[in-house]
Structures are given as structure tokens and as C-alpha cells.
């Protein structure tokens, strides 16, 4: 459903990426309104492709503020596609996404949060105040990238804004809740990383055995963090490892509240 008149929206900026890809930029910052335009355009493009009205398009990748369209230059002329995409962008409007609102557990205890005290001190806040800000904020999932299941989430309170670490860690444990600039994310896998670590969730963000939705998060979803102690963290982690934990129970509903008690 479009919730804004196309005539009221700024014109998208078209950029060439070599001879087989085009990017449509809908803004210059991470913003829910701009992201709604990204999703609106992606949905319109999907509908056109499904109806056979655009040939030669291989795939498209929505991001925080843009959509990159990959195409086969042997099947469609790039200039023709560029003109079609600009017309589509002007008419697609914004998409009001009914994404899932997740309520995810996170443990903020020191062993899981090596940067929590430093961030709190840098902002003249107590550790508890930082935790309260994190758990009282509704985070918006803009895109997945970097790793399978790695969701870039906006909405971090401005007071918590910090740059990435000057020297990235060689190893960040899977499940680490991290922040950088005005973004929040969870590392789904053990990997190097330069974001500041404030806690850890026991819930895997990517499950290869789930063929319908391997990545827990999707663009347009929302995330609320619920603080749990180490004992509850361990219990939830063990439950998931044993296959007895239903990810659907983490949707923000009474069932989610029950499982986090």
C-alpha cells in the first residue's frame, strides 16, 4: 500500500555501477521514511518482473537508502532499463510495511559486554542508564548484509552514538549485540568486527535448517531488546541448541513475554 503521493516525493538519483548494474538512491541518510521508499520501489519492481514487464533483470538488492538492480546487458539495453527504472521510481511511492516486531532477549553482563562500561563513561551515563535506553528503544531493521542474518538496525538513541573501534577485534562471538554510529546489530556468526559490544543474545539470527525463513530478521521488522540475566541466557541458549525453542515465540506478543520471564 502506498502511503504517500508520488508527486510529493523527491526524485531518486540514478547511478551506474559498471555495465550490468544500476543503483537508485532515494536519500542520503538512514531514515524510516526513505526506507519506505526503498521498499516501495522494490515491491513495484518485483510486481513488474513477475508480470513479465521487465526483461533482463537478474536481481535487485534493497539497502538502507537505495536499491541496486543487476541486469544482463545481452538481454536488455542499459539505457532503456535506466529510463524504465526512473519512471518506476517516480510512481512507486512509499510502502507501509507490516513487518514483524520481535522481542529478543539480551544479556548485558560484563562477560558479554566488553564495551558497555567504556561507552557509559564516555557519555557520562551509568551502565544501567545505557541498558534502559537500549531496552526502551524500538529498533528498525533497514537491511541485511555483511553476514547472513546480520540486520542493520536504526534508531539508536543519539546519546549513545559512538564511532567504530579504532582497531577491529579479530574475533567477535556470535550473538554479540553491537552498536556503531547510530546503528545497532547482532553478529550472527563468530567473525572479526569493529562495532562496540554491549551484550549478547542467545537466539541465533540465522538458522540454515529453517528453509522458509533462515534469517530471523527482515527489512521492515522492528526489534525490542529485553534484558535477561546469565542464568536465563544459558537456559534459553540450551533450549535452542536442543531444538526445543520456537523462534516464533519471540514475536512481540504475550507468548514472547512468557518465554522471557
Q: Is the pLDDT of residue 7 over 60?
A: no
Least confident of 16-30, 63-77, 81-95, 96-110: 81-95
- Let me know: does 185 contact 195? Beta carbons within 8 Å: yes
**pLDDT value of residue 259:** 39
Residue-level pLDDT at 9: 54
* pTM score of the predicted model: 0.82
Range of weakest confidence among 10-14, 64-68, 84-88, 162-166? 10-14
Phi-psi region of 111 (alpha: psi -120 to 50; beta: other; left: phi over 0): alpha
The pLDDT of residue 96: 65
The span from the CA of 223 to the CA of 155, in Å, is 10
Please check the confidence at residue 153 and state whether its pLDDT lies above 50: yes
pLDDT digits (tens, 9 = 90+) for 32-54: 889 989 988 998 999 998 898 88
State the virtual CA torsion across 123, 127, 140, 61 in degrees, nearest 10. Answer: 80
How confident is the model at residue 3, as a pLDDT?
36
Four-point Cα dihedral 154, 250, 205, 121, nearest 10? 50
User: In CATH terms, is domain 6-92 a member of 3.30.1360.40?
Assistant: yes
CATH architecture of 101-259: Beta Barrel (2.40)
Instruction: Find the mean pLDDT for residues 103-107.
Output: 98
Q: What is the pLDDT of residues 211-230, one digit of tens each?
A: 888 999 998 899 999 999 99
The residues spanned by each domain of the chain are: 6-92, 101-259
Residue 260's pLDDT is what? Answer: 43
Question: Which range, 83-97, 119-133, 228-242, 245-259, is most confident?
Answer: 119-133
pLDDT over threshold 50, residue 173: yes
**Residue 192 dihedral angles phi and psi, to the nearest 5°:** -65, 155
Amino acid at each position: 500500500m502506498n502511503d504517500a503521493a508520488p508527486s510529493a516525493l523527491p526524485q531518486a538519483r540514478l547511478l551506474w555501477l559498471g555495465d550490468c548494474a544500476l543503483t537508485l538512491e532515494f536519500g542520503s541518510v538512514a531514515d524510516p521514511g526513505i526506507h519506505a521508499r526503498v521498499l516501495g520501489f522494490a515491491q513495484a519492481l518485483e510486481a513488474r518482473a513477475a508480470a513479465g514487464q521487465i526483461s533482463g533483470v537478474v536481481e535487485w538488492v534493497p539497502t538502507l537508502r537505495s536499491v541496486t538492480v543487476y541486469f544482463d546487458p545481452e538481454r536488455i539495453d542499459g539505457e532503456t532499463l535506466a529510463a524504465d527504472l526512473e519512471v518506476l521510481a517516480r510512481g512507486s511511492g512509499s510502502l507501509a510495511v507490516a513487518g514483524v516486531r520481535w522481542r529478543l532477549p539480551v544479556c548485558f553482563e560484563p562477560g558479554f559486554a566488553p564495551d558497555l562500561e567504556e561507552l557509559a563513561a564516555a557519555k557520562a551515563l551509568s551502565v544501567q542508564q545505557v541498558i534502559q535506553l537500549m531496552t526502551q528503544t524500538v529498533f528498525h531493521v533497514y537491511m541485511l548484509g555483511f553476514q547472513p542474518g546480520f540486520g542493520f538496525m536504526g534508531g539508536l538513541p543519539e546519546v549513545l552514538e559512538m564511532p567504530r573501534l579504532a582497531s577491529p577485534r579479530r574475533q567477535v562471538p556470535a550473538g554479540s549485540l553491537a552498536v556503531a554510529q547510530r546503528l545497532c546489530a547482532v553478529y550472527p556468526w563468530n567473525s572479526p568486527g569493529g562495532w562496540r559490544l554491549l551484550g549478547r543474545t542467545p537466539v541465533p539470527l540465522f538458522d540454515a535448517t529453517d528453509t522458509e525463513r533462515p534469517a530471523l530478521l527482515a527489512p521492515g521488522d522492528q526489534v525490542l531488546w529485553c534484558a535477561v540475566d546469565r542464568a536465563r541466557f544459558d537456559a534459553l541458549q540450551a533450549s535452542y541448541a536442543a531444538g526445543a525453542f520456537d523462534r516464533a515465540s519471540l514475536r512481540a506478543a504475550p507468548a514472547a513475554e512468557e518465554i522471557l520471564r
